[in-house]
Amino acid sequence: MTLINDRWLRRLSQSPKARLRMFCLPYAGSGTAQYRPWARLLPPDIELYAVCLPGREERINDRPGEHLEPLAVSLAQALQPLLDRPFVLYGHSLGGLLGFELAHTLRRTVGVEPARLIVSGRGSPERQSAPAIGHLPDDQFVAALTQRYGGIPQAVLNEPELMALFLPVLRADFRMLETYKYPERDPLSCPITAVGGTQDSMVPPEAIHGWRAHTTGEMGAHFVDGAHFFIQTHQARFIELLSAELRRTPKSAGL
């Protein structure tokens, strides 16, 4: 029986004969909840996991990470018991960047790559797309987030107690983005799928196509209607595209 590190991982679907395991990484300020509906929407031969980072949900008392590389190292250790089966890494925005670093960390420490890396709402890693807003006072920080991303639920904005819980994680996540420095390395060998929003002003098409330089394998660029959070506003189309990419992912790791 495979042991799951339940501090880091939530298993959202289980299949003893799953063809692939898929690990979903959160975008800034988010947790595992947005991936729970995907368990009934993705192909049944995909065993779905959501990653729970420090500082959110059941780990709300853990200090959030402020630097991406050590977080990738810790996460790689947590995933190791589940790497006995081909796997896919997926992340949106910050999650896409974390997935990229995690893929490199797994190659370096375990000698294995994902069967596919899938990123959405994030340009290639050498592009710095995060504004320096983590230092702003609360009201200016929230205003900048709302104007640029529009991703904070109104229910949270209207509740000071919820915002008090939400803001430290958001600030830490943006510090992670703002302090990230792309370390030049040999490209991955696994296929990369990059998905952008047609109205996402923060991630232009050339930034999505920029992922081509980061793999010696296949790279596919796709675009879905919508702004930065097209995975929510146009979920049906995105899940259709994601399912197609998973179906054509080979049952083999990148190394």
Residues 6+ apart with CB under 8 A from 108: none
Catalytic residue among 13, 74, 93, 129: 93
DSSP state of 221: E
User: For 211-248, what is each residue's pLDDT tens digit?
Assistant: 999 999 999 999 999 999 999 999 999 999 999 999 99
Tell me, rounded to whole angstroms, the distance of Cα 91 from its chain centroid: 2
Specify the CATH architecture of the domain 9-247.
3-Layer(aba) Sandwich (3.40)
Closest C-alpha among 117, 123, 97 to residue 228:
123
Is 93 a residue of the active site? yes
Q: Where are the domains of the chain?
A: 9-247
DSSP, collapsed to helix, strand or coil, labels residue 101 as helix
DSSP, collapsed to helix, strand or coil, labels residue 44 as coil
Is pTM beyond 0.85? Reply is yes
Lowest mean pLDDT segment, chosen from 5-19, 26-40, 204-218, 241-255: 241-255
User: For 138-178, what is each residue's pLDDT tens digit?
Assistant: 778 777 777 776 656 666 666 777 777 778 888 889 889 88
Model pLDDT, residue 212: 98
Residue 233's CB is within 10 A of a number of other CB atoms, namely 16
| Cα distance between the two ends of the chain | 25
